[in-house]
Structure 1
Amino acid sequence: MARVNAQRWPALLGAFLLAAACAALPDGAAAARPALVPACLTVSPYPDGPHDSWSSAAPISVQRYFLAAATDCDGTVYALGGWEATTSHPGPSDFARSDLVENYDPSSGSWTTLPPLSSARDRLAAVTDGDGRILAIGGDDASSGTAVEVYTPGYGAWQAMPSLPVEMPFPSAASDAAGNVYVFDGNETAIFDAESRTWQTGPPMPTAREGAVAATGADGRVYVIGGYTAAEPDVPTSTVEVYTPSTQEWSQAAPMPGPKGRAAGVTAPDGRILVFGGASEPGDTPTAVTYAYSPGTDHWEPAESMPHARDCAAAAVGGDGRIYLVGGTQGDSTDTATTDVNVYTP
């Protein structure tokens, strides 16, 4: 598996930030690559094959849901933690918190097992920082819900980072091209400053919620999409709120066409934010609906529905420019957890 030399990451980061700044075209412009996260990642925005379509990739090794996903600088996809099946034919009680970390290489089409997390946990968030390192953030770990770990690809085990300033058992997280990290849960906002390497408490979200999607737009703002409101934890919302790091202010964006909680989402290479599946009504019944949002026009539209209804999955962009949707549940109970990996071509 090809690896990016750690000593070259700062140079790569600067080069790609400069390229992103000089290539600002409207959302969806085929000739431009928006400010990807991680910034050191290079992809083709429109890989071969039919667009707005789904295919399959090799499955993960064991059924998992409430897991997290992130992308390495070399375009490989990480699947972290979650609830993991403890038997080959699990029932609802045959799951446990997982420390499993697997890595998918789109060029070889195979998964590799990597060093495990230091603490097994589910409902965690994962991001890639400006140096191409993978961060596992918060979640339910039978302890404090504040743990943060970091993994440097190709260089050994996971290491502890400064803990979150507040407990975040079901966080959403996004990072920007400079390596700053933004984490949201309830109405709490935590911000990791890449320069000082410390956490700060940010302005609270206007709408308290959990199980939302967080994604950084090509405009550098962070979009927090859907989730379950704290007042009604079993009722998903279509609310979209936007955090502007430069002003530390929140604003409203156009709501999704329909509510979603426990969905998966990413910023695609073409600049759109895509939101997959999740529960669209009170209770645990998942949906196959996909929505696409263009930050430049503040407009939502449908995208191709997923092959199967799914929630509690994780998503990340691969180095081939396609989006990998990993694990999750395909029904209204945990015994429908899956090893499936579906691939969306924007």
Structure 2
Amino acid sequence: MNHGRTQHTSSTLLNGKVLDVGGEGMTPGMNNTELYDPATGIWTTTGDLHVSQLGHTASVLLNGKVLITGGLRHHHETNTAELYDPSTETWTLTANMSHGRYYHAATVLTNGQVLVTGGDDAGPPNTAELYDPSTETWRMTGRMNYERVSHTASLLTNGKVLVTGGEDARVGPLNTSELYDPSTNMWTTDSSMHFGRFFHTASVLINGNVLVAGGVSDEYHIANTAEFYNPSTENYMPIDKTKNLPSS
């Protein structure tokens, strides 16, 4: 890359290129962005953000634009949002979120809207809001049952959003999960994971199950554990490390 960076985002665009945005490098919170072209194997710089960010989210919208939300700038959370247009390689500011947040999660729903959840200093961090690309506006939606920072939010094949884990400053790593239903804008608590974790990953598999792996776990250890979430049973299955299969 043209710049060393951490706590940035990488997004695969509809044209196949990869957009890397912001993060921390020589200075905390960078506003530079760059594109990787798999056809040539070359990185090129592209338009700069209006607001430098780290710990933000990046969502590829159905229209191909990329929505950047929140993040940390000069040690303060931001409520700003920006749109990247791959056809012009430029950024434009869009409406601000209702709350500043970083280490939050953002999920593109099947209707094209973006659900943003939790994050530090979200006032309080169980809030959630929706971005409508057609009007470029935000509105608050139902609050999560738990305050979460550094959690995951995954769009399931049934259109619901599964939120897993995260950290609550009062209790530490969370093993709780909950489901957001876009048709009702309501959250319902779901089965708990076998381990509390934050800064983990959650990957929706081809069969619809969700693989939850790693993170900072109970007693603040770096975890090598993984488990499957089955949307049809709404249960978690730990993985047998000796066989790399769901344990019975």
- Matched to 1:307, the amino acid is H
* Corresponding residue of 2:81: 189
Partner of 2:229: 344
Instruction: Give me the whole-angstrom Cα distance separating, in 2, the residues matched to 1:246 and 1:160.
Output: 28
Contact 1:263 / 1:275 at 8 angstroms: preserved in 2? yes
Alpha carbons of structure 1 residues 301 and 342: separation in structure 2 relative to 1, 3 Å: same
**Superposed counterparts of 1:1-346, under 5 Å:** 119-143=3-27, 144-152=29-37, 156=41, 158-185=43-70, 186-229=78-121, 237-282=125-170, 285-331=172-218, 333=220, 336-346=221-231
- Say whether the 8 Å CA contact 2:102–2:120 is kept in structure 1: yes
Unaligned runs of 5+ in 2: 71-77, 232-248
Kindly indicate whether the alpha-carbon contact (under 8 Å) linking 2:48 and 2:90 is maintained by their aligned counterparts in 1.
no
Structure 1 residues 318 and 289: CA distance shift in structure 2, 3 A = same
Cα RMSD for the two superposed structures: 2.5
> Cα distance, 1:343 vs. partner?
3.7
Contact between 1:323 and 1:345, CA under 8 Å: does it hold in 2?
A: yes
Q: Residue 163 of structure 1: CA displacement?
A: 2.8
Give a deviation string over 1:91-135, Cα, whole Å, max 9, x none. Answer: xxxxxxxxxxxxxxxxxxxxxxxxxx6544433233332234443
Question: 1:163-218: CA deviations, max 9, x gaps?
Answer: 32211111022111222111111111111123333111111111111111111111
TM value normalised by structure 2: 0.78
What are the superposed Cα offsets for residues 197-254 of structure 1, whole Å, 9 maximum, x if unpaired?
Answer: 31111111111111111111111111111111167xxxx6111111111111111100
Q: 1:327 to 1:122 in 2, by over 3 A?
A: farther
**What's 1:37 paired with?**
none
Decide whether the 8 Å contact of 2:98 with 2:140 is kept in 1: no
The residue identity in structure 2 corresponding to 1:135 is L
Using the alignment, how far apart are the partners of 1:182 and 1:222 within structure 2? 9
Partners of 2:4 and 2:225 in 1: CA distance: 21
Kept in 2, the 8 Å contact 1:178–1:194? The answer is no
User: Which of structure 1's runs of 4+ aligned residues deviate more than 4 A?
Assistant: 117-120, 152-155
Output the CA distance in 1 between the equivalents of 2:84 and 2:39: 24
More helix by share: 1
Query: Larger strand proportion, structure 1 or 2?
Result: 2
**TM-score (structure 1 length as normaliser):** 0.58
How many correspondences in the alignment?
A: 223
Residue of structure 2 equivalent to 1:113: none
1: distance between equivalents of 2:117 and 2:30? 22
Q: Larger relative CO (CA 8 A, sep 6+): 1 or 2?
A: 1
Change (3 A) 1:331 1:300: same
Equivalent position SS for 1:228: coil
Task: Tell me the CA shift for residue 158 of structure 1.
Answer: 4.7
Identity in percent: 26
Match of 1:57 in 2: none
* Residue pair 2:152, 2:200 contacting (<8 A) in 1 also: yes
Task: Find the aligned partners of 1:265 and 1:160 in 2 and give their Cα distance.
Answer: 30
The residue identity in structure 1 corresponding to 2:55 is F
> Contact 1:129/1:176 (CA < 8 Å) preserved in 2?
no
Q: Secondary structure at the match of 2:197?
A: coil
Counterparts in 2 of 1:339 and 1:243: CA distance versus 1, 3 Å: same
Post-superposition offset of 1:151:
3.8
